[in-house]
């Protein structure tokens, strides 16, 4: 049996078994998620919330931006509080004060420590006891807890509506006045906040840990890391060390084969440029425009962290609130990167065959129009939803779903799914005849189509939740999209495309590239598929999810230990021959990808992955640092590199403005690093210390984020943001200046 065949079998087994486990424990999440009650009543029989009000409250929360305005269970934006941590602390303080004043005639904080400890223990018994009755579907609470709910309903109503006493706090959280315009909707959202927080402090049946594994940290109610959190943290670190040792040993014993003989001239000079390949050029122009819009939205979003509802004194929040600017910033980041990769696929597929199948250019143009409609339509729908101009059901379909990274309404999700399958068809049509001819590139092209198929199929996971699906279940499917689609199979696609480009340039033998791609995919997916669970430690999931997530997410880091070798090889490749220097900047982008894979995805990722670390820092700016370093540093830089490869191929005979693209490259990478080290990481570290000492509620509070020195750290970000934005602006300008020149066409092929 050949080595390639063995790797194919291993790839199929790893993928099948991992997805089976992912599905099995998904079933467990369905069975053991925090129950959605029929009603919440007091011990005296008074109805506080109906179940339908809680479900509608979840939709109200989604309609105002959901995870783009604060967070629930640690998932979401970082400026406003985590509402579950905030509610839990405020509820605990209210009840303790109520008891203290009733029994001792003074506020809780003035009591002697012995009496405080006694009341805190009483509070723990009150809140941690599971009073859900599965037969009646009721959660039964005491009258004092019902009073706390009414107090908090009044507080949140004032915050999300128009209480003038909360103007400053509302400003600090960048929540516009009258974000919710109807008191009924406000009451419903309060019910959802209560239920989500109830899961954080209520122990599972026959267990001494809560539905969210004692998250968030809150000493008042006895929320502290469980034994499982500590044990699986240790296991993850041990497995990481073992995995690193095995990887280094395996790499050391590999025999380096002789490098292929370098072509005397650029092989792509002989490449046929088909009409559909030429049609890809407009994708690059639109991507450049989306980049400019995205970084503009990012600058506005970051600035809201300082001024709250203004942009250098201009009252921008009335027309472009923080929720919308952040939504567009996150969503457009995903969309332009994905479009860059889709465009690369559309360019590569016919280049292999050397001709277009019938109607290929037509399909490329139709897909382009579809993507434009999806981008503009979803952005408009999100604005209408957040501005409270849509009903709850209409908002779900056309407005803002409220789930970070998949904010677009369900209609736009379905439309994008159809677009991805159209893209997949455009990949298959030119490549299937080539694969049938059993050329040397058959294995590599097969892997290319497998990765493309996975991209189309796994996005459908975003259609698996409904308008009122239990949040724990919706989070499970959301991370299928964010982790498996974005971080998983797009990674495989990127690996295949990079290897294919090196083969086409004559820098890598086809057999070597195929084996490397298969091996890299096996190693990555071994940890990557089940590593999805590391996002779900505290999202209402059973203990087994934490065990598997901690174990396999540690293995995700293992391949990154040799990333420096990959970066060096890419750098060395760019200097091999005179003609290859024309590909200097695309190859430098791959070098940058390797660096950010190690630092942004690897180091910053593992800092927040172990259960005990994430217990204290989930939802803090440490996550934001990882997101910027990994999402843009790895996937964004790869998207830019792929765009440059396409441009170099299209305009092979043109001399590039080397100074302009060089300035852009270094500005982007230096600006991103400055953004991290001057602002996001220092802020995240300080928040982590505050979270460990006082609780997550404090680390996310206005009291802390507006405390001494914090605004200065936020302002420091303007240095990195400016350098970064200038770099991306010059890149967009470079794309347009090159694109207006006459491309290199060696084709007489006519698309019918």
Does some domain include residue 46?
A: yes
Confidence of residue 750 (pLDDT cuts 50, 70, 90): very low
Does some domain include residue 252?
A: no
Mean pLDDT over the full length of the chain: 89
The predicted model gives 416-428 an average pLDDT of: 95
Confidence of residue 751 (pLDDT cuts 50, 70, 90): very low
Query: Where do the H-state alpha helices sit in 33-142?
Result: 51-63, 83-104, 113-128
d(CA 669, CA 33): 42
pLDDT at 136 over 60: yes
d(CA 621, CA 612): 17
Tens-digit pLDDT profile for residues 67-81: 999 999 999 999 999
Does some domain include residue 202?
A: yes
Task: Give the residues across from 203 on adjacent strands.
Answer: 210
More confident residue, 487 or 701: 701
What is the structure's pLDDT at 553?
A: 81
Confidence of residue 752 (pLDDT cuts 50, 70, 90): very low
d(CA 554, CA 531): 8
Q: Of 309-318, 408-417, 440-449, 502-511, where does the model show the most confidence?
A: 408-417
The predicted model gives 284-300 an average pLDDT of: 94
**Comparing C-alpha atoms, which of 637, 558, 626 is closest to residue 78?**
626
pLDDT at 743 over 70: no
Name the helix (H) or strand (E) containing 133: strand 132-133
Domain total of the chain: 1
What is the structure's pLDDT at 744?
A: 62
Domain interval for residue 47: 33-224
In this structure, the strands spanning 132-133 and 138-141 are antiparallel
The predicted model gives 259-271 an average pLDDT of: 65
DSSP per position, 358-413: TTHHHHHHHHHHHHHHHHHHHHHHHHHHHTT-S-HHHHHHHSB---TT--B-HHHH
pLDDT at 254 over 60: no
More confident residue, 621 or 437: 621
Q: Assess contact for 457 and 419: CB atoms under 8 A.
A: no
Name the helix (H) or strand (E) containing 735: helix 710-739
The predicted model gives 238-265 an average pLDDT of: 68
Does some domain include residue 710?
A: no
Does some domain include residue 208?
A: yes
What is the structure's pLDDT at 264?
A: 63
pLDDT at 22 over 90: yes
Confidence of residue 740 (pLDDT cuts 50, 70, 90): confident
Confidence of residue 749 (pLDDT cuts 50, 70, 90): very low
Q: Assess contact for 101 and 107: CB atoms under 8 A.
A: yes
Task: Give the residues across from 408 on adjacent strands.
Answer: 400
Q: Assess contact for 687 and 617: CB atoms under 8 A.
A: yes
Does some domain include residue 54?
A: yes
Percent of the chain topping pLDDT 70: 93
What is the structure's pLDDT at 601?
A: 85
Q: Assess contact for 327 and 65: CB atoms under 8 A.
A: yes
Q: Assess contact for 308 and 702: CB atoms under 8 A.
A: no
Tell me if the bond preceding 216 is cis, omega within 30° of 0: yes
Task: Give the residues across from 210 on adjacent strands.
Answer: 203
Q: At what angle do helices 490-504 and 442-458 cross, to 10 degrees?
A: 150
pLDDT at 262 over 70: no
pLDDT at 683 over 70: yes
Tens-digit pLDDT profile for residues 338-373: 999 899 999 999 988 888 999 999 999 999 999 999
Confidence of residue 229 (pLDDT cuts 50, 70, 90): very high
d(CA 533, CA 19): 12
Task: Give the residues across from 75 on adjacent strands.
Answer: 72
Confidence of residue 251 (pLDDT cuts 50, 70, 90): low
Q: Assess contact for 386 and 319: CB atoms under 8 A.
A: no
Q: Assess contact for 601 and 629: CB atoms under 8 A.
A: yes
Does some domain include residue 133?
A: yes
The predicted model gives 687-699 an average pLDDT of: 94
Whole-model pTM: value is: 0.93
Q: Give the list of residues 6+ apart from residue 681 with CB closer than 8 angstroms, or none.
A: 621, 622, 625
More confident residue, 658 or 95: 95
User: Which strands form 39-42's sheet, in the order they lie side by side?
Assistant: 47-50, 39-42, 138-141, 132-133
Length of the chain in terms of residues written: 752
What is the structure's pLDDT at 562?
A: 62
What is the structure's pLDDT at 292?
A: 95
Percent of the chain topping pLDDT 90: 65
d(CA 184, CA 191): 11
Tens-digit pLDDT profile for residues 618-639: 999 999 999 999 999 989 999 9
d(CA 77, CA 75): 7
Does some domain include residue 167?
A: yes
What is the structure's pLDDT at 340?
A: 93
**Comparing C-alpha atoms, which of 188, 178, 186, 220 is closest to residue 201?**
220
The predicted model gives 118-126 an average pLDDT of: 95
What is the structure's pLDDT at 115?
A: 93
What is the structure's pLDDT at 461?
A: 95
Q: 634 φ, ψ to 5°?
A: -90, -65
The predicted model gives 525-546 an average pLDDT of: 90
Q: Among 26-40, 195-209, 240-254, where is mean pLDDT lowest?
A: 240-254
pLDDT at 256 over 60: no
What is the structure's pLDDT at 566?
A: 62
Residue 41 burial class via C-beta count within 10 angstroms: exposed 0-12, middle 13-18, buried 19 and up: buried
DSSP per position, 282-329: HHHHHHHHHHHHHHHHHHHHHHHHHHSS-BTTB--TTTS-HHHHHHHH
What is the structure's pLDDT at 573?
A: 63
């Amino acid at each position: 049996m050949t080595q390639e065949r063995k790797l194919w079998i291993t790839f199929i087994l790893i993928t099948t078994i991992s997805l089976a486990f992912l599905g099995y424990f998904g079933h467990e999440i369905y069975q053991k998620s925090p129950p959605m009650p029929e009603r919440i009543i007091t011990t005296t029989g008074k109805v506080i919330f109906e179940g339908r009000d809680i479900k509608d409250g979840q939709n109200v929360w989604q309609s105002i931006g959901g995870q783009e305005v604060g967070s629930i269970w640690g998932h979401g934006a970082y400026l406003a509080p985590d509402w579950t941590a905030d509610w839990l602390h405020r509820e605990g303080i209210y009840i303790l004060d109520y008891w203290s004043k009733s029994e001792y005639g003074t506020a809780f904080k003035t009591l002697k420590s012995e009496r405080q400890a006694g009341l805190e223990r009483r509070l723990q018994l009150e809140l941690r006891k599971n009073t859900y009755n599965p037969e009646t579907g009721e959660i039964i609470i005491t009258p004092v807890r019902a009073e706390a709910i009414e107090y908090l309903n009044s507080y949140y109503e004032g915050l999300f509506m128009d209480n003038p006493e909360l103007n400053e706090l509302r400003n600090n959280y960048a929540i516009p006045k009258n974000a919710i315009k109807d008191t009924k909707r406000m009451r419903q959202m309060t019910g959802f906040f209560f239920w989500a927080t109830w899961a954080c402090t209520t122990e599972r049946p026959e267990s001494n840990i809560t539905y969210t594994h004692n998250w968030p940290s809150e000493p008042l109610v006895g929320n502290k890391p469980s034994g499982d959190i500590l044990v699986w943290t240790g296991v993850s670190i041990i497995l990481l060390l073992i995995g690193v040792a095995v990887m280094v040993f395996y790499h050391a014993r590999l025999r380096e084969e002789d490098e292929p003989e370098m072509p005397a001239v650029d092989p792509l000079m002989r490449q046929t440029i088909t009409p559909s390949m030429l049609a890809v050029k407009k994708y690059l122009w639109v991507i450049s425009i989306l980049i400019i819009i995205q970084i503009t939205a990012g600058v506005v979003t970051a600035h809201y962290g300082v001024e709250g509802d203004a942009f250098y004194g201009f009252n921008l929040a009335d027309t472009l609130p923080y929720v919308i600017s952040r939504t567009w910033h996150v969503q457009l980041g995903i969309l332009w990167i994905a479009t860059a990769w889709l465009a690369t696929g559309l360019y590569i597929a016919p280049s292999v065959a050397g001709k277009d199948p019938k109607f290929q250019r037509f399909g490329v143009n139709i897909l382009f129009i579809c993507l434009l409609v999806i981008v503009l339509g979803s952005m408009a729908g999100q604005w209408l939803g957040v501005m409270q101009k849509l009903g709850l059901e209409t908002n779900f379909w056309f407005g803002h779903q409220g789930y970070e990274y998949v904010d677009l309404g369900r209609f736009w999700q379905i439309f994008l799914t159809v677009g991805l399958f159209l893209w997949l068809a455009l990949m298959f049509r030119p490549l299937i005849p080539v694969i049938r001819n059993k050329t040397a590139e058959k294995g590599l092209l097969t892997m290319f189509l497998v990765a493309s198929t996975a991209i189309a199929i796994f996005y459908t996971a975003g259609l698996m939740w409904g308008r009122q699906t239990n949040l724990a279940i919706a989070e499970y499917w959301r991370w299928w999209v964010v982790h498996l689609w974005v971080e998983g199979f797009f990674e495989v696609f990127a690996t295949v495309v990079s290897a294919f480009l090196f083969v086409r340039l004559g820098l890598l033998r086809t057999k070597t590239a195929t084996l490397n791609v298969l091996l890299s995919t096996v190693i990555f997916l071994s940890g990557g598929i089940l590593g999805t669970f590391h996002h779900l430690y505290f999202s209402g999931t059973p203990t087994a999810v934490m065990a598997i997530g901690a174990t396999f997410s540690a293995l995700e880091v293992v391949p990154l230990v040799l990333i420096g070798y990959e970066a060096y090889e890419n750098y060395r490749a760019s200097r091999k021959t005179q003609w290859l220097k024309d590909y200097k900047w695309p190859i430098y982008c791959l070098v940058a990808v390797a660096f950010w894979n190690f630092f942004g995805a690897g180091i910053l990722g593992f800092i927040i992955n172990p259960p005990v670390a994430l217990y204290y820092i989930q939802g803090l700016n440490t996550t934001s640092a990882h997101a910027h370093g990994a999402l843009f540093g790895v996937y964004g830089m790869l998207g830019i590199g792929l765009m440059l490869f396409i441009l170099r191929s299209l305009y092979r005979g043109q001399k590039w403005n080397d100074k302009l693209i060089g300035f852009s490259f270094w500005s982007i990478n230096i600006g991103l690093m400055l953004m991290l080290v001057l602002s996001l990481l220092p802020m995240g570290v300080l928040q982590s210390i505050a979270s460990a000492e006082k609780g997550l509620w404090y680390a996310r509070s206005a009291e802390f984020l507006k405390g001494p020195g914090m605004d200065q750290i936020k302002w420091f970000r303007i240095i990195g943001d400016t350098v970064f934005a200038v770099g991306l602006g010059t890149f967009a300008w470079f794309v347009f200046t090159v694109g207006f020149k006459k491309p290199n066409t060696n084709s007489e092929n006519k698309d019918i």
